[in-house]
Structure 1
């Protein structure tokens, strides 16, 4: 089995991060999730900025999917 994540796998991860279920992941949601997993705050912000392709402060599922699928 391939280690590459499917669109369905990515949707599950996206939905887990999107705590208020508005269809976007904000930096606040992204940070809250990653701080629970003991990630450094600076690297969290850099990772979020890299995923937020249009720099609007919200990550759409399409941006999330592009970031993880390449």
Structure 2
């Protein structure tokens, strides 16, 4: 994919996760994306570890981030 067209280009997974936690909190994120690292003793570190090795979950988090950014505009 051309980086100019990728809306996530230059944004780290950590920054995405921190933004979502600030906007929604862990509880709502766990409701929106039902994964254990959001629902059971959540932390940025444990979530990053899981998301980096679980492509389907990372995709869901990225899509939630993109939707949240569109709503803010």
Q: Quickly name the TM-score band, shorter chain normalised.
A: 0.3 to 0.5
Q: Which has the higher strand share?
A: 1
Higher relative contact order structure (alpha carbons within 8 Å, sequence separation ≥ 6): 1
Q: Which has the higher helix share?
A: 2
The TM-score, its normalising length taken from structure 1, stands at 0.36
